[in-house]
Structure 1
């Protein structure tokens, strides 16, 4: 009972911090609206006539490899596009001249670096006269992919920079107007750009759905550091010491801290789902029980991590650094900013350390109309990590 009183006290402090609370709700809604709207059309939905494409890639750039493997070799386009990979630009030109290829595509070296700078000029497209339709479609696919990648670079850069240079989210000092204006200014001339929509269950998940889930899990992750900072602050101001002079045990206090983060994170998740559903038309899935299960597992994980951080991080400055930079790195690694399918195989494996990756995967599965069996793994991982983190944090804090 006493732990519930401690939890309610922490929840009231955070819920009545109007600027901090609105930041935690409005910022993910803002980014969801920007990214989801900018990426609302899929480049995979064009009716492509039979095309023989000669393809030359100057180096093993990771983004160029991703374009070749996930777009040009997409199973849905396999019957329409016959890909002929060549070893030089001269060989590519000969294929076009001899009529053995309809369209030729040359990707420059360091393609990803050029796209990150907004330089789309070095990509070369050659076409056989009379094959304008095929050339136009291939050009559209290339430009759509480049602009999509550019938006990802811009959104990631602006978000990281704004958070790293801002006061902690808990203080409500993040300037959402400046952040949104910066993103919009850089992408306002880019149209028709999207992540490639793939079915994860019975239904295709749209870009708005993807970024709703991605932004939601990213901002809930901030509660891990905010919850830890509340414990550090109360320790520094001797609030915890005064609580211990009452008939309240250390176990009651620590359990209350855990439950307080759990309650706030749950409220944030619930409000975000409701607002995005009715405000943006985001379909979170037909099975509400599955949504609740994934959401509950994730907030248990985040609340447990807050206890571990409080136990092992001694400085509020270190917590601020984790809040401003560390969480954003997890966001990028876990697919909240850049879709996981664009990662290399190695990075896909490394991304498993990010808790938001498991939550995002579970939510996308639910949106796609999956079965309980397919979300059992992410739910189990999140609950296990949360319980282990909670146990480790409680043990360490009791010792300290």
Structure 2
């Protein structure tokens, strides 16, 4: 064990004497999380940019109403305080301008109130609303379309109710229909566009007991840490390849020391460096950026340690496959990025189809994010994440065994 420790301390001293490498390893993740957090924070503070175009404005006004149904609808949308919390709504004069702004990405979506809207409402016919969507802002456009759908549903309900009442009145007293039909339509339109009418359709945000709501910066704070811990594999691989090029590794392999001890020393240095990196990133994200890591610090650290053990095995494997620093510089980042991509570092795996989601279990980042996500959102403890920890330790064991076997190829 003493020889393993000496090999590890020798590597750590070499790395500590390289301030540029330490700056990349410790400083770059903090800067990236800061930039990502600022960008996400700005995006979340601003509303979704959408527009409304009333092509039916002033075409038809029901008897007893001060303004056309389309004006009632547009006013209700523009003046709604609840919608103002989520959207930046602009009224545009023409359909052409709305299409141009959707096309160039200035707005996520636009509502077109067609030219025949007033007449359809006044006569009790089905109402049609058109939504123009930017394919590049699918989520934001979908939210706007759901709001428009809610308004359309209310108008449709009012239209059906008015039509039913008018048919009933017509059978009993046609003259009364002629006198009060327009006023009935006007009252129905006013009802669905008033503040009380807007309360007819509500979206209630209810928290499930035992779950913690997390923001985008909370998610990406954890995922970026999980990804950057993987870059520790690069340092271990470069160190091993450099020693092989300088014949230092060959001299160690020619000694009576078991190969497992030599590889173990290399892995231990990567592990210690990775845990130092995790400590810095944990403190920075939690206390500077306010990222929620969950309540069980011990479980979080154990998962980080398990990931680093897997990373050290990966470092050994990369070094045994790439015989030059240039080759390691090409293979290492590719492996890390693939692991981060399929593990959910860049987006939540839940957005993928169900049959694709299990691919995360091929990734060290995937197992780490599953455990940290449970600690963060469900308040999981150490006993709840043993499955992920065991998987990471198994990966570490396999990679270590392959690394020991492949080390002979470096001689």
If the TM-score is normalised by the length of the shorter chain, which range does it land in? Answer: 0.5 to 0.7
Q: CA separation of 1:200/1:264 partners in 2, compared to 1, >3 Å: closer, same or farther?
A: farther
CA contact (8 A) 2:322 2:331 kept: no
Residue from 241, 256, 281 that aligns with 2:250 = 241
Q: CA separation of 1:131/1:20 partners in 2, compared to 1, >3 Å: closer, same or farther?
A: farther
How big is the shift at 1:344? 2.6
Offset from partner CA, 1:329-354 (integer Å, 9 cap, x none): 32222111122222232431223212
Stretches of structure 2 that go unaligned for 5 or more consecutive residues are 48-80, 84-113, 153-188
Q: CA separation of 1:255/1:201 partners in 2, compared to 1, >3 Å: closer, same or farther?
A: farther
Q: CA separation of 1:279/1:106 partners in 2, compared to 1, >3 Å: closer, same or farther?
A: same
How big is the shift at 1:245? 5.5
Q: Find the residue that maps to 2:279 and give its secondary structure.
A: helix
Distance 1:211 1:200 in 2: 24
Partner of 1:11: 12
Q: CA separation of 1:346/1:133 partners in 2, compared to 1, >3 Å: closer, same or farther?
A: farther
Q: Find the residue that maps to 2:238 and give its secondary structure.
A: helix
Per the normalisation by structure 2, the TM-score is 0.60
Distance 2:195 2:323 in 1: 63
Question: Highest CA radius of gyration, 1 or 2?
Answer: 2
Q: CA separation of 1:104/1:347 partners in 2, compared to 1, >3 Å: closer, same or farther?
A: farther
Distance 2:30 2:194 in 1: 41
Residue from 399, 404, 410 that aligns with 1:389 = 399
Distance 1:200 1:231 in 2: 50
Q: CA separation of 1:242/1:33 partners in 2, compared to 1, >3 Å: closer, same or farther?
A: same
Q: Map residues 291-370 of structure 1 onto 2, 5 A cutoff.
A: 291-368=300-377, 369-370=379-380
Partner of 1:164: none
Distance 1:25 1:248 in 2: 33
Distance 2:194 2:362 in 1: 47
Partner of 2:388: 378
How big is the shift at 1:387? 1.0
Q: Map residues 27-46 of structure 1 onto 2, 5 A cutoff.
A: 27-40=28-41, 41=44
Stretches of structure 1 that go unaligned for 5 or more consecutive residues are 49-89, 142-195
Distance 1:15 1:282 in 2: 28
How big is the shift at 1:231? 0.9
Q: How much is the aligned-residue C-alpha RMSD, in angstroms?
A: 4.1
- Using CA pairs below 8 Å that are at least 6 residues apart, which structure has the higher relative contact order? 1
Q: CA separation of 1:217/1:197 partners in 2, compared to 1, >3 Å: closer, same or farther?
A: farther
Per the normalisation by structure 1, the TM-score is 0.62
How big is the shift at 1:238? 0.8
How big is the shift at 1:209? 1.8
How big is the shift at 1:248? 4.4
How many pairs are equivalent?
292
Distance 1:397 1:348 in 2: 34
